[in-house]
């Protein structure tokens, strides 16, 4: 994959769920482009420290904040810190799977997915829009192809991700007049820990169903995020960019 050269020097970003997978690729791409980046992580202190160390080899621009979005006090703590910063970009990336058929799904499986994907989005956007209005920044929300096409075993996740898309479209109409953009990106199947429990033979079948015949890379989602944040997308708001190798 060839790398586009982005320049985000002087910009400040917050990335939720940034310690691994797609979030870590976004943090790395933003840091490489010169942005100051604050990222949240739920539990894995070692992974967060390793990412900070890698990104900060040349500059001191990346900071990690522990926050479990199923705990309102943790979100409050992050928001209290971020509201004081000149944030230009908010990337709502944190998400989790609790896949089961509906008849086996526990209320906790439903609730946790909604807390991390939707309730955190509500709080973070509500609290940071006053900052973005000042900086004329913008927001990217990571949705999913499941929120568009639906997926067996994912009534919680797919409905939450469809909610992310509806949230994005609605808020775009509210904050567009203030000069603040908000967009969603809907990845298809991307090689991260989220897919680690899928058997190899199932993965092979998934690949056969994808026109580009492979799973996506976290870096490919990161590049789409940077494009959407950048001035190259200055007339784009309320949209959902599907990045799925042609699957949908």
> Which residues participate in catalysis according to the annotation?
157
* Binding footprint of ligand NAD, residue count (CB under 6 A): 26
- Per CB under 6 A, 41 contacts ligand NAD: yes
Q: Is 105 exposed, middle or buried (0-12, 13-18, 19+ CB in 10 A)?
A: middle
Strands 12-15 and 36-41, by their bridges, are: parallel
Distance between CA atoms of residues 32 and 34, nearest Å: 5
- Per CB under 6 A, 224 contacts ligand NAD: no
In DSSP notation, 138-187 reads EEEEE--THHHH--TT-HHHHHHHHHHHHHHHHHHHHHGGGT-EEEEEEE
Length of the chain: 248
Q: Which is nearer to ligand NAD, 135 or 153 (CB)?
A: 153
Closest listed residue to residue 247, CA positions, set 186, 159, 169, 179: 186
- Per CB under 6 A, 119 contacts ligand NAD: no
Q: Which is nearer to ligand NAD, 37 or 142 (CB)?
A: 142
Choose one: 61-69, 127-135, 168-176, 197-205; the region binding ligand NAD (CB under 6 A).
Answer: 61-69
Q: Which is nearer to ligand NAD, 22 or 87 (CB)?
A: 22
CB 94 within 8 A of CB 114: no
- Per CB under 6 A, 245 contacts ligand NAD: no
Residue in 89, 182, 189, 223 binding ligand NAD, rule: CB under 6 A: 189
Q: Which is nearer to ligand NAD, 91 or 233 (CB)?
A: 91
Distance between CA atoms of residues 244 and 83, nearest Å: 34
The mark string for 69-98 relative to ligand NAD (x by CB under 6 A, - otherwise) is: xx----------------------xxxx--
What are the residues binding ligand NAD (CB under 6 A)?
17, 19-23, 41-42, 67-70, 93-96, 116, 142, 144, 187, 189-190, 192-195
């Amino acid at each position: 994959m060839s790398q586009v050269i982005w320049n985000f020097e002087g910009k400040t970003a917050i990335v939720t769920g940034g310690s691994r997978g797609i979030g870590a690729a976004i943090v790395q791409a933003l840091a490489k482009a010169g942005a100051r980046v604050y990222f949240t992580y739920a539990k894995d202190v070692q992974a967060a420290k390793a990412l900070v160390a890698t990104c900060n080899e040349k500059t001191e621009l990346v900071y990690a904040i522990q926050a479990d979005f199923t705990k309102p006090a943790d979100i409050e703590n992050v928001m209290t810190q971020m509201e004081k910063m000149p944030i230009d970009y908010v990337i709502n990336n944190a998400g989790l799977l609790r896949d089961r058929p509906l008849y086996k799904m526990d209320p906790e499986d439903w609730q946790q997915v909604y807390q991390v994907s939707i309730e955190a989005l509500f709080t973070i956007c509500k609290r940071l829009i006053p900052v973005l209005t000042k900086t004329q920044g913008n927001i990217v929300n990571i949705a999913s192809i499941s929120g568009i096409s639906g997926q067996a075993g994912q009534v919680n996740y797919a409905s939450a991700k469809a909610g992310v898309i509806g949230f994005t479209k609605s808020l775009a109409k509210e904050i567009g007049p203030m000069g603040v953009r908000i967009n969603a990106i809907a990845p298809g199947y991307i090689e991260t820990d989220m897919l680690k429990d899928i058997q190899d033979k199932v993965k092979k079948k998934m690949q056969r169903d994808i026109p580009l015949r492979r799973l996506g890379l976290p870096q490919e989602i990161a590049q789409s995020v940077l494009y959407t944040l950048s001035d190259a997308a200055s007339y784009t708001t309320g949209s959902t960019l599907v990045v799925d190798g042609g699957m949908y």
